[in-house]
Amino acid sequence: MTSQNCLQADVVINGAGMVGGALAVLLAQAGLNVVVLEAQDQSPDMLISELPSQLDAGYQPRVSALTLASQIVLERVGAWQAMQAWRVTPYVGMQVWDGMGSGKISFNAAELHEPYLGHIVENSVTVAAIYQAMQSYDEITLLTGVQMTALSAPDRQGGRVVSLSNQEQCYALVLIGADGAESRTRQLAGIPATAWDYGHHALVTTITTEKPHEWQCWQRFTEDGPLAFLPLAGGVEGHQVSVVWSTSPEHAQQLMSLSDEAFCQALTQASDTCLGQVMTTDPRHAINLRQRHAHHYVERGVALAGDAAHTIHPLAGQGVNLGFLDVAALAEVLIDASEQQLPLGSLEVLRRYQRLRRSDNLRMSATMELFRRLFGDRPAPIRLLRSSGMNFVNRLSPVKNHLAMMAMGVKGDLPKFAQRGV
Ligand SMILES: Cc1cc2nc3c(=O)[nH]c(=O)nc-3n(C[C@H](O)[C@H](O)[C@H](O)COP(=O)(O)OP(=O)(O)OC[C@H]3O[C@@H](n4cnc5c(N)ncnc54)[C@H](O)[C@@H]3O)c2cc1C
């Protein structure tokens, strides 16, 4: 199903965020021809060249805690080195405590014989480094300011014709939806998703604290939701902290309306003064949190990855880490299929990807939901049990270390591109 004025691609990726961009590079490295569509009209050159001055001027409000598995994927993509040169913050410990009880768990890299547990990275740094990596491959055509307007039914091999907002068309052996939570690809492919509100908004900003963060993440479960302090490098070295405060929409609105001084006081109190007084704050941003899970990740000629397939609560900082594991699994499946000359868009090929990722992602979604419910405002006996459980796990080093290694992405059934030393 091809015509002369139709672009041809092995793979069309809709969405050049962290997930779509990283996937494009891994596929291009294997010689596949990739067209990437990005709705935002952003020049990649400007995005890359303006980043250093933006970083000098301050911190970006959106950050992600990246696991070792994500780091390995980003190293394969060729983005990690640039990210390190721009700004990444390793963290060596994590302190989690129950603000309504006496429960506490602490994780420590040294106990796991690792140099760190992970890195806090501004999302703009990760995106710019991936864009820079994309520029090294002639196999990648990046079209910015372009959206999908229609999607044909699959041909016999699963191939699809994608109609674009610039009036062009593109034929793809397979279309990947990496266009985030409100995925247009998911809608056009008719893939249903279950979604519900967590009843939480995440308030994000950057602060300076009186005491040094000691390269630790700090998370307190409050009656309204989890409050996380994530360490940042640079600035007043050791005192810059990224905040993710998940709370009810009403409380978030109230916090948004406070003066900077009153907000710093509210944060100092809500954090149990774990880092002393909160001294300064950057502007605040509130984000509505919803959980979504696509009923299936694949259709003939279409697969979903990252937030297009699943969005989860940020309380354990796992959203894009799951996305990078999707990238690693999907790249492996598509490259294997291409080497075996199998049709990339066939259900036989794409279902292999779904088998590799869907149950793991569902398990993580369910765990986040359990945590959110367990740490809501619960009756006293549940609070007691919760605190005892945390303290029990904290004393049980093998269980605690196993949990930490799973969360870091160094244990478990990882796709090849996310494994150390493969
Ligand atoms: C407050 C908060 C804190 C978080 N903290 C963490 C954390 O610590 N660790 C972690 O792992 N995760 C975290 N996450 C989750 C993480 O931000 C997401 O999982 C991640 O951004 C998803 O990446 P993505 O590339 O799949 O989607 P997106 O980042 O949404 O990118 C999608 C891309 O597609 C483009 N696009 C959208 N629609 C279209 C269209 N119709 N056509 C073409 N292009 C389109 C967009 O412009 C964008 O470039 C957090 C989330 C929140 C809200």
- Domain architecture of the chain: domains with CATH: 6-90+119-195+290-376 (3.50.50.60)
Q: Mutation test of ligand 1: which of 19, 25, 162, 179 has the most ligand atoms closer than 8 Å to its C-beta?
A: 179
Interval between CA 229 and ligand 1 midpoint (Å): 20
Residue for token digits 């000359």? Answer: 341
Among 12-21, 98-107, 162-171, the minimum mean pLDDT is found in 98-107
Cα 1 to ligand 1 centre (Å)? 33
Closest residue (by CA) to atom 27 of ligand 1? 180
pLDDT of residue 286 exceeding 70: yes
pLDDT (mean) for 5-20: 95
**319-339 and 347-374 helices, crossing angle to 10°:** 170
Atom of ligand 1 nearest to the CA of 15: 34
Closest to 254 measured CA to CA, from 239, 272, 266: 266
pLDDT at 51: 97
- State residue 144's pLDDT score: 97
Query: What pLDDT score does 390 carry?
Result: 67
> 238-254, pLDDT tens digit by residue?
999 999 999 999 999 99
Ligand 1 atom closest to the Cα of residue 307 is 26
Rounded to the nearest angstrom, the distance between the alpha carbon of 277 and the centre of ligand 1 is 32
> Can you tell me which residue has the tokens 């109230």?
254
Q: Tokens 């080195």 label which residue?
A: 81
Name the more confident of 274 and 316: 274
CB of residue 38 inside a 6 A radius of ligand 1: yes
- Smallest CA separation from ligand 1 atom 35, residue: 15
At residue 274, the pLDDT reads 96
Beta pairing, strands 140-144 & 34-38: parallel
Query: Which backbone phi and psi does 242 adopt, to 5 degrees?
Result: -90, 135
Q: Which residues contact 274 (CB under 8 A, 6 or more apart)?
A: 95, 218, 220, 229
- Is residue 228's pLDDT more than 70? yes
Q: What percent of the chain has pLDDT over 70?
A: 94
395 vs 115, higher pLDDT:
115
Closest ligand 1 atom to 178 CA = 26
- What is the structure's pLDDT at 7? 92
pLDDT, greater one: 404 or 96: 96
Interval 138-142 mean pLDDT:
98
pLDDT given for residue 223 in this prediction = 83
Which pLDDT band holds residue 109 (cuts at 50, 70, 90)?
very high
Poorest-confidence range of 5-9, 282-286, 399-403?
399-403
Position 365 scores a pLDDT of 81
Give me the pLDDT at residue 266, please: 97
pLDDT in tens, 28-70: 999 999 999 999 998 999 999 999 999 999 999 999 999 999 9
Q: Summarize the confidence of residues 406-417 as an average pLDDT.
A: 81
Per-residue pLDDT of 64-87, as tens digits, reads 999 999 999 999 999 999 999 999
Residue 283 has pLDDT above 70, yes or no: yes
Contact call for residues 37 and 107 (beta carbons, < 8 A): no
Distance 306 CA to ligand 1 centre (A): 8
Q: Which residues pair with 218 in a beta bridge?
A: 95, 229
Residue 415, ligand 1, Cβ within 6 A: no
Helix (H) or strand (E) holding 91: strand 89-91
The stretch 395-402 carries a mean pLDDT of 72
For the Cβ of 71 lying below 6 angstroms from any atom of ligand 1, the answer is no
Q: Residues 47, 127: contact at Cβ < 8 Å? A: yes
- Tell whether the model's pLDDT for residue 290 goes beyond 90: no
How many angstroms does the Cα of residue 71 sit away from the middle of ligand 1? 17
pLDDT of residue 377: 61
- State the average pLDDT over residues 257-274: 97
Question: Does 126 contact ligand 1 (Cβ within 6 A)?
Answer: no
Cα–Cα distance between 11 and 43 in angstroms, integer? 22
Q: What is the pTM of this model?
A: 0.94
At 12 the pLDDT is: 98
- In whole angstroms, what is the distance from residue 374 CA to residue 100 CA? 12
Task: Label residue 197 by pLDDT band (50, 70, 90).
Answer: confident
pLDDT score for 100: 75
Model confidence at 236, pLDDT cuts 50, 70, 90, reads: confident
Residue 198 confidence class, pLDDT cut points 50, 70, 90? confident
Q: Which atom of ligand 1 is nearest to the CA of 16?
A: 49
Model confidence at 421, pLDDT cuts 50, 70, 90, reads confident
CA 131 – ligand 1 centroid, Å = 15
Lowest mean pLDDT among 89-103, 177-191, 367-381: 367-381
Q: Is the pLDDT of residue 4 over 60?
A: no
Residue nearest (by alpha carbon) to ligand 1 atom 31: 17
1 pLDDT higher than 60: no
Q: What is the percent of the chain where pLDDT is above 90?
A: 75
Q: What's the token pair of residue 142?
A: 């990046």
DSSP characters for 168-233?
A: -EEEEEEEEE-S-TT-HHHHHTT--EEEEEEEEEEEEEEEEESS--TTEEEEEE-SS-EEEEEEE-
Nearest CA to ligand 1 atom 48: 17
Distance in angstroms (rounded) separating the CA atoms of residues 292 and 145: 26
* Pocket of ligand 1 contains residue 16 by CB under 6 Å: yes
DSSP letters, 240-263, are EEEEEEEE-HHHHHHHHHS-HHHH
Ligand 1: does its nearest atom lie under 6 Å from the Cβ of 69? Answer: no
Distance (Å) from CA 367 to ligand 1 centroid = 20
Compute, in angstroms, the gap from residue 414 CA to the centroid of ligand 1: 22
Neighbours of 132 (CB within 10 A): 20
